[in-house]
A = this chain, B = another copy of it.
Amino acid sequence: MALLPSPLHFSTSHITTSTVVALCVFFTLICACIIIGHLLEENRWANESIVALLLGMCAGTVVLLVTKFNSNRILIFSEDLFFLYLLPPIIFNAGFQVKKKQFFKNFTTILLFGVIGTVISFCLISVGALLLIQRIGISNLGIKDYLAIGAILSATDSVCTLQVLNQDETPFLYSIVFGEGVVNDATSIVLFNSVQSLDFSSIDAITALKLLGTFLYLFFTSTALGIVVGLLSAYIIKTLYLGRHSTDREVALMMLMAYLSYIIAELLSLSGILTIFFCGIVMSHYTWHNVTGSSRTTTRHSFATISFIAETFIFIYVGMDALDIDQWEKSKASSIGTSVAVSSTLFALVLIGRAAFVFPIANITNCIKKRESTKIEFRSQVFGSITKPLIEAVQPRHLKPSIFDSTDNPEDLRFQLLENNAPINQQSNHQPFQRRSRLRLLMSYPTTTVHCFWRKFDDKVMRPVFGGRGFVPFVPVSSSSAEAEEIS
C-alpha cells in the first residue's frame, strides 16, 4: 500500500485525453482491420495491408470532417514511436520466423542485392537528381543534399513487399526480398551517415576505403551483437532452466533480451535492424529449443501477433497520413508544377535505380540460383511436378520487377498474388541452363561447404553449450493443455 504511488490512482481524469482518443481510434481500427481482413481472406485482390490503408484513409476523412478541415492527425507519428516500438518487433519476428536454411543458402545473392545494389542505386539516383532537378529550376541544394537524397531513396522498404509474398509458397523470393531489405537498410544507413560526415572537398580513394571500412565494421559488429545477445539468452535459459518455476519468466526473458539487443545497438550507433534480425535467428535456433512446450507456442505466436499489430498500425497510419492537410498546404506554397516535376523525376530515378541493379544482378546470380533450383528439381521429378504453362509464362517476366516495386504499382500486386497461388514449379524452365552447371557448381560450392562446416561445428560445439533441437529434454505440450484446463 505504501510502496506504490497511490495518489496517482486518483488522477485518472488527468490522463492526456488526446492520447486516449488516439489509442481508442487506432485500436478500434486495428480490430476492424483484422475482422474485415479475415472476411476478405478468400478475395485475392485484398489483404490486410490494403484494408488497413483504406480504413486509415476513411478514418482520416472522418477526422478531417469532424475537426472541420483543421487537421487529420490524431496521433503524431514520432520517430521514437516508429523506431523504438513498431519496427523492432517486426524485424525480430521476421528473423525469428525466417526459414534459416533458405536464407543462408541465398546469403551471397542477398549480400549482392543488398550492398552492391544499394550502392548502384545510390549513385544513379544522386547523379540523376543532380542533373535533372537543377534543370527544373531548383538551385538551392548542394552536392551533399543530392547525395543524401540518393542515400534515402536507395533504401527500399520490404515490409510492404513482404505483405504480398508468402514464405511458405515462394520461399526463395521471400528470403531474397526480405534479406535484401535488411542488408539494404544497413547499407543506406552507412551511406547516409558517411554523406553527412564526409568532407566533399577532398574525395579520394582513401575516403572510399574508409566508407567500405565503416560499412564492414557496422555490418559485422551489428551482426555479432545480435548473435551474442541471442546466445546469451540461450545460455541463461538453458543453465537456469527457468521454465521449472514459471513459463512466463522464460517468455519475458526472451522478449526483453531481444528488445535489449536492438536498444543496445541503437545506443552504440549500430544498425539495430541487423542486430535484432540476427538475434531473432539465433533465438529461434537455440533459445527456442531450450524452453518448455508452452513457452514455445507462446513465444512463436505472441511474437507474430505483436509484429502483426505493429504492421497493421503502420499501414493504418500511412492511410490516414495520405490525406494530411498540412502537407498538401505546404506543397501548395511552392509551385504545384515544380513539386509534381520533382516528385515524378525522383520516382522515375528510383525505378531506374532499382532496375539498373536488379536486372544485371539477377542475371549474375541466376548462375548460383540454378544450382539450388536443380536441386529442387530432382525432388520434384520424384514427386511428379505439375507445370502450369500460364503461370510459367508470367513468372520469368515478373520475377524481377516484383522484387523492385510491387507496392508502387498496383498491377504488380496481381502478379504477386498469382505467384503466391502458384506452386514452385518455375524450376522446370531452368532445364536449358543445366549445361552451364560447371560454373554454377563452382560458384555455389562455397555456400554448401560453409553450410557443411557449420553443421559440424553446430552439432559438436554450439548445441552442447547453448542447447537447441535435440539437445534439451523436451517437455511435452500436453502439460500446458493440462495447465490450461486449470483456469475457469
Least CB distance, A454 to chain B, in whole angstroms? 14
Interface residue? A159 (CB, 8 A): yes
Which residues of chain B have C-beta atoms less than 8 A from A193's C-beta?
Answer: 13
Residues 16-45 of A, flagged 1 when their CB comes within 8 A of B and 0 if not, give 110111011001101100110111010000
Q: Which segment of A126-134, A240-248, A361-369, A418-426 sits at the interface?
A: A240-248
Interface residue? A251 (CB, 8 A): yes
Q: Which segment of A74-82, A205-213, A438-446 sits at the interface?
A: A74-82
Contact B318 A252 (CB under 8 A): no
Residues 296-323 of A, flagged 1 when their CB comes within 8 A of B and 0 if not, give 1110111011001100001100100100
Contact B347 A260 (CB under 8 A): no
Interface residue? A155 (CB, 8 A): yes
Which residues of chain B have C-beta atoms less than 8 A from A17's C-beta?
Answer: 267
Interface residue? A477 (CB, 8 A): yes
Q: Which segment of A109-117, A137-145, A184-192, A330-338 sits at the interface?
A: A184-192
Least CB distance, A178 to chain B, in whole angstroms? 14
Interface residue? A461 (CB, 8 A): no
The contact of A79 among B15, B53, B156, B469, by CB within 8 Å, is: B15
Q: How many residues of A contact B (CB 8 A)?
A: 114
Residues 214-242 of A, flagged 1 when their CB comes within 8 A of B and 0 if not, give 00000000000000000000001000101
Contact A481 B249 (CB under 8 A): no
CA distance A80 to B19 in the complex (A): 8
Interface residue? A355 (CB, 8 A): no
Contact B266 A12 (CB under 8 A): yes
Q: Which segment of A1-9, A57-65, A390-398 sits at the interface?
A: A1-9
The contact of A3 among B5, B263, B318, by CB within 8 Å, is: B318
Residue in A259, A304, A407, A478 with the greatest tally of chain B CB atoms within 10 Å: A304
Contact A20 B305 (CB under 8 A): no
A84-B20 contact in complex given A31-B256, A260-B27, A301-B298, C-beta closer than 8 Å: yes
Interface residue? A377 (CB, 8 A): no
Which residues of chain B have C-beta atoms less than 8 A from A272's C-beta?
Answer: 12
Closest-by-CB residue of B relative to A249 is B34
Interface residue? A457 (CB, 8 A): no
CA distance A357 to B269 in the complex (A): 57
A155-B79 contact in complex given A267-B24, A350-B1, A484-B296, C-beta closer than 8 Å: no
The contact of A236 among B28, B35, B188, by CB within 8 Å, is: B35
Closest-by-CB residue of B relative to A29 is B256
Contact B263 A20 (CB under 8 A): yes
Interface residue? A402 (CB, 8 A): no
Contact B302 A15 (CB under 8 A): no
Residues 459-483 of A, flagged 1 when their CB comes within 8 A of B and 0 if not, give 0000000000100000011101101
User: Other CB < 8 Å A-B pairs besides A4-B160, A9-B152, A27-B259, 17 of them?
Assistant: A1-B405, A3-B53, A3-B318, A4-B159, A6-B157, A8-B83, A9-B157, A10-B188, A12-B83, A12-B189, A14-B79, A21-B267, A34-B256, A247-B301, A297-B484, A298-B305, A476-B481
Q: Which residues of A contact B (CB under 8 A)?
A: 1-17, 19-21, 23-24, 27-28, 30-31, 34-35, 37-39, 41, 53, 77, 79-80, 82-84, 96-97, 100, 151-153, 155-157, 159-161, 185, 188-189, 192-193, 236, 240, 242, 245, 247-249, 251-253, 255-257, 259-260, 263-264, 266-267, 269, 271-272, 284-285, 288-289, 293-298, 300-302, 304-305, 308-309, 314-315, 318, 321, 347, 350, 405, 407-408, 469, 476-478, 480-481, 483-484, 487-488
- A sample of 10 inter-chain contacts (CB < 8 A) reads A1-B157, A1-B161, A1-B350, A9-B155, A12-B266, A31-B253, A248-B304, A289-B488, A297-B297, A477-B481
